[in-house]
Structure 1
Amino acid sequence: MTRTVHPIEQESYAILRRELAASHPDAAALPPLGRAVLERVVHASADLDYAADLVLPDESVLEHTVAALRAGVPVVADVAMVAAGITRRQTLCRITDPGAAEVAAEAGITRSAAALRLAAEEAGPGAVYVIGCAPTALFELVDGAARYRPSLVLGLPVGFVGAVESKQALRESGLPAVSNRSGKGGSAVAAAALNALLYQEVGR
């Protein structure tokens, strides 16, 4: 199955590649999957600075993730906006589940962290986690890494409180991950990073 790319998207990619080449020439040296993730993040945000801000794993990690996605591994999103931005794949997102509020109250954690726990119970080990909004969900995943055992974490929450720290904790955890150093990020960026890998299944 071939993915049809709209002419506007083709033109947008041509522009961003020219601008990346001019402002961040090292981006051209990235291996194919790493470059695909970077380009789709830049495409979603119109922010070329991600070329220096994004932290990518080894290409072999991304290759493994593409294979896992092709095999049907579950995808877990922290919030509905992330889930809505992920195309070609149903996601597990329990942020609106009444049980998330109950777990949050009982455990003294945020609803986002509680929703991640609920989704993980259904997903099981080896899922791909996409965190674009809630640093507390990312801290929950890092602190409970032995329970979650993710194939890949796309940890790109946005904000001024906990975003930078949660992403630093993710990188220091040793979990396979895509993250960024600054407080930038967000639902659209996180979804775009995963979409870049999902699109490898159908070609561009």
Structure 2
Amino acid sequence: MNRVVHPIEQESYRRLRARLDTSHFPPLTRAVVERVVHSAADLEYASDLVMDEGELVAAHAALHAGAPVVTDVEMVAAGITRRETVCRLGEAKSGPGLTRSAHAVRLAYEEVGPGALWVIGCAPTALEELLALDVSPALVVGLPVGFVGAAESKAALRESGLPAVSNVSEKGGSAVAAAALNALLYHPVPPASEEIL
């Protein structure tokens, strides 16, 4: 089923492209950049985001083949449309040296195992916990927000070598993390003859 784009969204993207040239980005990178910029009305994300087109191609294929999507908080899950997600924050408990968000990541990994797409938009500790596990993800959208630990956890994600979408600054949040995943959801699946192998 094709997604119907509302006229307001169409006009918003027209204005975005009038102010920001995204034509030099490869297709999936462009889709992620534009959707994140659109979600935050923040043009700086175009130079703040870090991702690799080849990793996005592989993640896009995994997503459309049915790989699980895991979120750190319900706010991120609420922003992801057209797809069920796993979020275990409601059952998680905090303890010495372990936040609820970090525990939720552990619980989710026990449920989904390797090959999932992880979308972290709130808690740096959730991203830190994810990096401590051997998750073998299809992709980590690591866009937690905050002045304590956010930039550092995203730097650690980039250094980990895992396929990822992150950004350099402290900014981020549930809306932009969900937007990055939605960009991959909304992007059309190429015909088999056009797939990158």
Q: TM-score, normalised by structure 1?
A: 0.90
Q: 5 Å matches for 1:30-41?
A: 30-41=25-36
Aligned to 1:164: 151
> In the TM superposition, what is the alpha-carbon distance from 1:92 to its structure 2 partner?
0.3
1:64 aligns with 2:58: yes
In angstroms, what is the RMSD of aligned CA positions? 1.3
Aligned to 2:118: 129
Cα distance in 2 between the residues matched to 1:200 and 1:190: 16
Q: 5 Å matches for 1:26-175?
A: 27-57=22-52, 59-97=53-91, 100-101=92-93, 104-105=94-95, 108-144=97-133, 146=134, 148-175=135-162
- Between the two proteins, the alignment pairs up a number of residues equal to 190
Please give the per-residue CA displacement for 1:17-61, whole angstroms capped at 9, x wherever unaligned. Answer: 11002xxxxx3211000000000000000000001101112x121
> In the TM superposition, what is the alpha-carbon distance from 1:186 to its structure 2 partner?
0.2
Secondary structure of the corresponding residue to residue 162 of structure 2: coil
Gaps of 5+ in 1: 22-26
> In the TM superposition, what is the alpha-carbon distance from 1:201 to its structure 2 partner?
4.3
Q: Percent identity?
A: 68
1:187 aligns with 2:181: no
Please give the per-residue CA displacement for 1:49-106, whole angstroms capped at 9, x wherever unaligned. Answer: 001101112x121111111111110000000100100001110001111xx11xx32x
Gaps of 5+ in 2: 191-197
Q: TM-score, normalised by structure 2?
A: 0.93
Secondary structure of the corresponding residue to residue 29 of structure 1: coil
Q: 4+ residue stretches of structure 1 with deviation over 2 A?
A: none
Larger helix percent? 1
Cα distance in 2 between the residues matched to 1:171 and 1:202: 27
